[in-house]
Amino acid sequence: MNKIKLILKKLNNLSPAAKASFWFVISNIALKGLSFITTPIFTRLMQVEDYGTTSVFVTWENVISIFATLSLAGGVYNVAQAKFGNDINAFTSCMLTLSFITSTIVYTICIITNILYPVLFGINTLFLIFMWLQTFTNAVVSFWLMRRRYIYAYKSVIVYTLTSALLNPTIAVIGILIFPNHAVYAKLIGSGLFGILFGIIICIITYKKGQKLVSKGYWGYALRFNLPLLPHYLSSTILNSSDKIMIDKLVGAAAAGIYSIAHSISALISIITQAINSSLIPYTLQSIKKENFDGLKKTISSCTILVAVLCLCVTLFAKEGILIFATIDYIEASLFIPPLAIAVLFEFITGIVGNILFYYEKTWQMSAITITCAFFNIILNYFGIIHFGYVAAGYTTLICSVLKLVLYYFVVKKHEKNLSKIVDLRVFWLIVFVCVVLMAYSVIFSKNLLARLGLFFIIILAIIVFYKKIIQLFCSMRKKN
């Protein structure tokens, strides 16, 4: 109890910015954690095809919403809060009007297209109407969340996040139990109902505060800022989402549902890798600024080994993980885990190299690389799925992750002469090679639990032997940060 009191006292003494950042991270982890926890419930209540349809719906919404809302609740709004702070309420209400107009135009086009060519989206027109309402209200809530974060009002954000995380799956589960023959409608409407109602309330409040619907000046500023970034936003979304859409089109909704489960499991590692990467950002950028690289390369290499171990452990127990998250109907998802896990490892290093690219403000190169990788991903997915089956989607993701890292590395190398002192590619490729060999072992002995447990205990033994060095590593990272 004394330790808990001491921790709470330290949290209370933090600056408003640090305190808000801490609780934002906690709420984000809680939101993602609850999402993962509820996945096994939905996979057991719904047919594989129905679960696949809901996954495709979410994927299409991620793609269409970029055009529908122009991502106005992103970077441009953060800058606007600093630039138009005294008139931010009016700016926000004008952005809501612009978002409403663009979303209405985009979804009208989508609905007409879906009526004329229903095979394109592969979803019911009623879903698109609901998607439009959800996209707009999500944008409204995003503006509200961005504003609350900017002024460090973390309590209201936490209340909303936790309420949403609890209510959305609860309403969806109740809906599926009441309407089992309409599970897709129940899941989608149930998951989005609270957000839509909350968005409508926030929209009314925002217009009352802003008291302005249209501003050519604000609209022009937002469009000039955000339109050049749309290719980057779109390419990133396509790179992460095209697999599910193409599997749905070329194979079927059931296959898309199976792939979605594998993608969700690999995303578990991504939560940890993003946290590690975030902790490395200040250390890396400060080292570049001061040209002090002592220990940086070793720290990054050690963190890469840690990520590789996590990826390996997930691969070792892929089948067991699938059965925890879903039923035996999804067991084929285990085939996707090895390539997706290695892709996460590549994305981890790409994130570190990408931070350096941000430091030198070479954002257009980032957009060009993302567009290139998204284009290759679509082409490889198409031919891979046709000739080798939908299992190829996992390996196309891996190939594009490798391509993205290579392109990032060579671009950054032109601007950072000390890149070899930051990221040791020889050590990284050695880690990848060992990881691939051990993953191949886990695939070969996928039906032999004892053989996989043997490798797992060897990993645990290695951690026990080197635990002092591991502790020293994280202590040194904390001091440097």
| Dist CA 356 CA 411 (whole Å) | 10
* Sign of the dihedral through C-alpha 369, 375, 377, 383: negative
Please say whether the beta carbons of 316 and 455 come within 8 A. Answer: yes
Mean pLDDT of 73-91: 79
* pLDDT digit string, tens, across residues 3-28: 666 766 666 666 665 666 666 666 66
Taking 70 as the threshold, does the pLDDT of residue 96 lie above it? yes
pLDDT in the model for residue 358: 64
% the chain with pLDDT above 90: 16
Q: What is the residue-wise DSSP string for 159-175?
A: HHHHHHHHHHHHHHHHH
Q: How many residues does the chain have?
A: 481
> Is residue 262 predicted with pLDDT exceeding 80?
yes
Instruction: Identify which has the larger pLDDT, 320 or 233.
Output: 320
Average pLDDT of the chain, as a whole number: 82
Is the pLDDT reported for residue 338 higher than 70? yes
Q: What is the pLDDT of residue 7?
A: 66
**The pLDDT of residue 233 is above 80:** no
Q: What is the mean predicted confidence (pLDDT) over 55-61?
A: 84
Position 136 scores a pLDDT of 95
CA–CA separation, 425 and 279 (whole Å): 21
364 has pLDDT over 70: yes
* Number of helices (H), then strands (E), in the chain: 20, 0
* Per-residue pLDDT band at 29 (split at 50, 70, 90): low
Provide the pLDDT confidence category of residue 481 given band limits of 50, 70 and 90: very low
**CA 137 vs CA 65, 93, 345, 453: distances in Å:** 11, 13, 35, 47
Taking alpha carbons only, the member of 440, 405, 439, 438 closest to residue 423 is: 405
Encode pLDDT of 184-229 as tens digits: 889 999 989 999 999 999 999 999 998 888 888 899 988 887 787 7
Residue pair 266/339 in contact (Cβ under 8 Å)? The answer is no
pLDDT tens-digit series, residues 383-430: 999 988 888 888 998 999 899 888 988 888 887 777 777 777 788 888
d(CA 327, CA 13): 47
Per-residue CA distances from 427 to 318, 349, 420 (Å): 26, 12, 11
Q: Per residue in 316-334, is it b (16+ CB within 10 Å) or e — as a string?
A: bbbbebbeebbeebbebbb
- Between residues 262 and 79, the one the model is more confident about: 262
Cα Rg of the chain (Å, integer) = 23
Q: Is 2 exposed, middle or buried (0-12, 13-18, 19+ CB in 10 A)?
A: exposed
Give the pLDDT mean for 451-473: 77
Rounded to whole angstroms, the Cα distance separating 416 from 284 reads: 12
DSSP 8-state secondary structure symbol assigned to residue 74: S
pLDDT of residue 121: 79
Q: How far apart are the first and last CA of the chain?
A: 28
Amino acid found at 273: T
Q: What is the pLDDT of residue 320?
A: 84
Euclidean distance between CA atoms 284 and 339, whole angstroms: 28
Q: Examine the pLDDT at 480 and tell me if it is beyond 60.
A: no
Closest by alpha carbon to 132, among 57, 238, 227, 40?
57
**Nearest of 337, 364, 349 to residue 402 by alpha carbon:** 349
| pLDDT tens, position by position, 113-144 | 988 888 777 778 888 999 999 999 999 998 99
Of the candidate ranges 219-223, 266-270, 431-435, 453-457, the one whose mean pLDDT is the lowest: 266-270
